Amino acid sequence: MIFDALNDTRVVDLTHYIAGPYATRLLAQLGAEIIKVEPPQGEGGRRLGPFHDAVATDTAHIDRGALFAFLNADKLGVTLNLKHPRARELLCHLLATADLLVENFVPGTLARLGLDPALLLDRFPKLSIVSISNFGQDGPDRDSPLNDIVLAARGGWTYAVGDPAREPLSPPGSLAQYVGAVYAAIGGLQALLARDLGHGRGQHVDISLLEATVATMIYDTVTFQYTGIVRERAGKRYAVGPFLLVTVRCRDGYAGLHCVSDLQFQSLFAMMGRPELAADEKFSRAIARMANNDELLAIVEEFFARHDADWLYAQGRARAIPIVPIPTAAQVLEWEQLKARSYFETIDDPVLGKLRVPGGPLRFTSNRPAPSRPAPRLGEHNRIVLGDRLGLATDELARLRAEGVV
């Protein structure tokens, strides 16, 4: 879904894989025009799974990972081999009318290509540059390799997750990269706002995925300084304290419980048919619940084991107790609440067919959103962007293609 808040904003997108493309996807959903510039062989994200079973073995279609189709919807696709001077010249033509350049190369790459951010900012005073990197643009580990499991581990997300008796459990997938992507989109808009409100010029925005991860670890770093306590793995409990934040086995699977306040515990005890526990001095007050947490959990586990997740969820809703089922991907796609809000939209991808994807995380009320367009095929908009807009003649475009520039 595309809103029109940023419909006067143009972004040149040099990003690849996940964090960069999701940052510009967010800007696209806010209405910005995104010109995605890829090398002639395509960016690596095209070859990330999941693949359609029929496509995965078809080498002609191997550049069509489904995640790419989601992350790059609503972008114009252009190819440029930036190692070639003519390609860099064309890129600069695009930058001349752009508000933002977003990139997630290894730090120093732009400078090596003769596109040093400081020079670009000098040449294009209205332009801001958002650089997303693993560790930031400086520091001793700037050039070190990183992947998702290391990012979450080093950024502090992993340490307290999992079974205390075994190794910590990493958060799944690329969650921390997505968090960094949102920070990057914010950083880009902060630079635009500063420009438009009085600074007058663009600037460079340096986003470190590691720092974005640290910033979203619920401030355990500050709590440690206040209390001297390091939060340890607490098993199925998300944390130990005067509350119950747990996953609990129920009759048909697992459910989550997030019980914090006196009132919630009173409602929970009533739901379990044990209202007398609310008056029990072991459980009536927060400090007592902290001391008697194991006993409290055992009572809850015994009850949950006798009931189905959906029943517990419905009871929780009726009684304002935060109880949740733990839906699978299939169940998320079929969740009535999201359906009622028309949350998912269908992208008719030219290669993969119809894909149901999240339609967008924000609901602006000033205009009705437009539907998303499929992600570009490699170089799909070369003619429109390089030809029509930059004025390259058809024969010149053909020549540049032959020379490997586009």
Partner 1 sequence: MSIAAGLEKIRALDLSMGWAGPLVTEMLAEMGVQVIKVEDTRNFDWWRGSLSMGPPEMQPVERSSVFNTANRGKLGLTLDLSRPEGVAILKRLAAASDILVENFSPGTIGRLGLGWPELSALNPRLIMISLPAFGSEGPESNARGYGMTIEAMAGVTALTAYHDGGAPYMLSNALGDPVSGLHGMLAVLAALHQRARTGRGQLVEVAEVETVVPFVTGALLEYQLSGRTPIPLGNRHSTAAPHGIFRCADDTFIALGVHNEDHWRALTDALELSHLAEDPRFASADARKHNEDALEAELRPAILRLGADAAASRLIAAGVPAGQVNSSADVLADRQIGARSFFVPIDRAVVGTHLYPGAIARLSATPLDAGRPSPMLGEHNESVLREMLAMSDAEIARLAEDGIIGSHPRSRP
Minimum gap (Å) between residue 359 Cβ and partner 1: 9
Minimum gap (Å) between residue 383 Cβ and partner 1: 29
Per-residue x/- mask for partner 1, residues 21 to 40, rule CB under 8 A? Answer: -x---x---xx---------
Question: Do the Cβ atoms of 52 and 77 come closer than 8 Å?
Answer: no
Q: Which of 41, 85, 108, 221 binds partner 1 (CB under 8 A)?
A: 221
Binders in 367-396 for partner 1, by CB under 8 A: none
Count how many residues are written for the chain.
406
Minimum gap (Å) between residue 384 Cβ and partner 1: 25
To which residue do tokens 């998300």 refer?
Answer: 238
Minimum gap (Å) between residue 15 Cβ and partner 1: 16
**Region of 82-90, 101-109, 296-304, 336-344 interacting with partner 1 (CB under 8 A):** 336-344
Q: Which of 107, 316, 369, 379 binds partner 1 (CB under 8 A)?
A: 316
Q: Which of 62, 214, 240, 278 binds partner 1 (CB under 8 A)?
A: 214
Burial class for 315, CB neighbours closer than 10 Å (0-12, 13-18, 19+): middle
CA 349 vs CA 75, 125, 207: distances in Å: 13, 38, 31
Nearest in space to 27 (alpha carbons), one of 362, 384, 338? 362
Question: Do the Cβ atoms of 346 and 372 come closer than 8 Å?
Answer: no
Non-local CB neighbours of 241 within 8 Å, separated by 6+ positions? 290, 293
Non-local CB neighbours of 349 within 8 Å, separated by 6+ positions? 64, 66, 69, 355, 374, 375
Query: Residue 295, CB half-sphere, CA atoms under 13 Å: how many?
Result: 10
Q: Does 328 bind partner 1 (CB under 8 A)?
A: yes
Alpha carbon distance 30, 100 (integer Å): 14
Per-residue x/- mask for partner 1, residues 44 to 73, rule CB under 8 A? Answer: -----xxxxx------------xx-xx---
Specify the residue, 4 or 396, whose C-beta has the smaller distance to partner 1: 4
The amino acid present at 291, given as its one-letter code, is A
Minimum gap (Å) between residue 85 Cβ and partner 1: 27
**Region of 89-97, 105-113, 169-177, 393-401 interacting with partner 1 (CB under 8 A):** 169-177
Binders in 74-133 for partner 1, by CB under 8 A: none
Minimum gap (Å) between residue 84 Cβ and partner 1: 26
Q: Does 249 bind partner 1 (CB under 8 A)?
A: yes
Q: Which of 62, 93, 97, 254 binds partner 1 (CB under 8 A)?
A: 254
Minimum gap (Å) between residue 36 Cβ and partner 1: 18
**Region of 35-43, 272-280, 312-320, 374-382 interacting with partner 1 (CB under 8 A):** 312-320
Minimum gap (Å) between residue 197 Cβ and partner 1: 3
Specify the residue, 40 or 327, whose C-beta has the smaller distance to partner 1: 327
Q: Which DSSP symbol is given to 2?
A: B
Specify the residue, 185 or 296, whose C-beta has the smaller distance to partner 1: 185
Specify the residue, 37 or 212, whose C-beta has the smaller distance to partner 1: 212
Nearest in space to 230 (alpha carbons), one of 221, 238, 218, 217? 221
Minimum gap (Å) between residue 308 Cβ and partner 1: 16
Alpha carbon distance 189, 405 (integer Å): 31
Minimum gap (Å) between residue 5 Cβ and partner 1: 4
Specify the residue, 49 or 114, whose C-beta has the smaller distance to partner 1: 49
Q: Which of 366, 391, 393, 402 binds partner 1 (CB under 8 A)?
A: 366
Specify the residue, 97 or 315, whose C-beta has the smaller distance to partner 1: 315
Alpha carbon distance 35, 390 (integer Å): 13
Nearest in space to 135 (alpha carbons), one of 152, 157, 151, 124? 151
Print burial letters for 22-51: b (CB count within 10 Å at least 16), e (below 16): bbbbbbbbbbbbbbbbbbeebbebbebeeb
Q: Which two tokens stand for residue 50?
A: 């999941």
